[in-house]
Amino acid sequence: MAHISELEASLRPPAMEMPPYPPKVITLASGEEMVVRQVAREEVPTLLEAIYPLLWVERDFYDIVGARLFGELLAYKRYRVKDEYVLAGLIDGVLAGMVNGRLVDGKTGMSYHTLTIRRGLRVGSHLFAAKMEYHIEHCGQEEVLIVAESPIGFRRWMIEYPLEKRFEVQHELGGVPSWVLPKETYYNAKPRLAAGRRPVPDELMKAAETIALPAEETVVRQVAGEKEESE
């Protein structure tokens, strides 16, 4: 363990005991296998590179999601946010999407963001469910607070699980009214919304050891669609 100064230590939040996320593999509609695993701090720079092009895409709130996620990942890397986790979905080692959040305390989780890079294969749905699984099944929490920037994307989860209103609680993302996924609702929804097999076969895990980036052109094109016409 590297030695850190007292001042640095005082600027780091005390860390709760967080179990590692056990990796799983999911067969996607294309027949491809996506490994879902936790992201280590050293891997954050790769994720930042993937997000960076989105910071100027206004459509569908990608700019604010990108900017916030960028900050959250940096904060995770540099120990400036308490008990944050990051999960990534990798197809043949290539980044397909990422999700993050943090543990408020033993009972409550705070979901941050979901970013899908590889479209058309429900990667976002799989990863969102994976983080709910992490909070509730692996960390043993009672409920997860959730909000979103984009109303259309959010409406789907709001209705699908379904989520409950907890508007009296301000979510950390801008203090907006929270929705919540209670444990019981998660378990009821699990058969139709959460999938994946464990353990991950060795060769797939090996392929997922290093996170490879999709081409930048692909990220902007896939995530945000074609460039908008400028009038």
Residues of the shown chain interacting with another protein in the complex, contacts defined by CB under 8 A: 26-32, 120-122, 125-126, 129, 152, 155, 159-160, 162, 191-197, 225-229
CB of 193 to another protein, least distance (A): 6
* Beta carbons within 8 Å of 114's beta carbon, 6+ residues apart: 97, 98, 99, 124, 127, 128, 131
Instruction: State the minimum distance, in angstroms, from the CB of residue 108 to another protein.
Output: 25
Cβ–Cβ < 8 Å for 101, 146 = no
Q: Closer to another protein at the Cβ: 12 or 192?
A: 192
Task: Give the CA dihedral 173, 191, 158, 165, nearest 10 degrees.
Answer: -80
Helix ranges (H only) for 38-140 are 44-51, 62-77, 123-133
Would you say 8 or 216 has its CB closer to another protein? 216
Q: How far is the CB of 19 from another protein (least distance, A)?
A: 24
The residue among 120 and 175 lying less far from another protein, judged by its C-beta, is: 120
Shortest distance, position 61 Cβ to another protein, whole Å: 13
Nearer residue to another protein within complex by CB, 108 or 222: 222
CA distances 107 to 81, 189, 201, 204, Å, are 18, 20, 33, 33
Instruction: Fill in the amino acid letter for 211.
Output: I
Q: CA 195, CA 69: separation in Å to the nearest integer?
A: 25
Q: Are 65 and 224 in contact (CB under 8 A)?
A: no
Instruction: Please say which residue, 81 or 130, places its beta carbon nearer to another protein.
Output: 130
